[in-house]
Copies of this chain bind each other. A is one copy, B any other.
């Protein structure tokens, strides 16, 4: 069940039985010569929708599609929020959902560069309550973020499919997920070098100097639609369980 494709009456009914939802969160940033700029937003969206397809009791919110990607800004098409802006926006999304009675929000993340700022945003939201007099504090929220590739069992699937050079940015696995979702976007590009270098980085200029075509440690030439379908299936299944545990605990 997708929030964007529901009526308010649907959500009113949903809130009778559940106080939780999943919100995909990603980024618009370069993913090397054969990866899509939307990769990190597409992956959690595709996986969340796959998980919800099998279960009408899971609500998926709109995708938070532009995240923290300052380090990719030397590659055309990349977009970023400043972390302070992203904290304000996540807070507004959470305040909105709390207003309707949602109590647990599970953010399914698709971008490593978002992790810190999402966590900072959670602390900003919790702080409002933690610093208030209990009598006038806003209602409690329980927030969780999970990277889709860290869902139980998913990394094992990725490693089985791409035992070598899956990499850490523009990975074969994430590119495969997008190819499975958009088969007409499969790119046949010669990657040079075949396997990208590894290392650390600071700002956009430094990143591009280290990683001239944008990839880190990966050979996404391995990505196939079939592999992507397998990963989506594994991740959707794991998400249903992990989200179920999150709700039960609260």
Residues of A within 8 A of B (CB): 2-12, 14-15, 28, 30-38, 41-42, 61-63, 65-66, 68, 70-71, 73-85, 87-89, 91-93, 95-97, 99-101, 113, 115-124, 126-127, 129-134, 136, 138-143, 182, 185, 187, 189, 202-206, 214
Contact = CB atoms under 8 A, between A and B. Distances in A.
B202 A142 contact: yes
A49 to B, nearest CB: 13
11 contacts: A3-B38, A7-B35, A8-B30, A8-B75, A15-B76, A70-B123, A70-B130, A71-B130, A73-B127, A89-B89, A115-B116
Contacts of A38: 2-5, 62
Contacts of A3: 28, 37-38, 77
A89 B96 contact: no
A227 B100 CA distance: 33
Nearest to A79: B96
| Residue in A61, A75, A113, A124 whose Cβ sees the most chain B Cβ within 10 Å | A124
A75 to B, nearest CB: 4
A78 B158 CA distance: 37
Given A73-B99, A73-B130, A123-B113, A37 B8 contact: yes
A124 B121 CA distance: 14
Given A6-B77, A7-B30, A99-B130, 5 more contacts: A8-B31, A8-B32, A66-B92, A129-B205, A142-B206
Contact of A77 (B8, B37, B95): B8
Contact of A81 (B30, B42, B92, B99): B92
B4 A42 contact: yes
Given A130-B203, A143-B202, A96 B124 contact: no
Contacts of A119: 115-117, 120
A28 to B, nearest CB: 5
Contact of A84 (B12, B33, B84): B84
Nearest to A63: B65
Given A38-B4, A66-B93, A205 B28 contact: no
A77 B10 CA distance: 9
Nearest to A126: B203
Contacts of A115: 116, 119
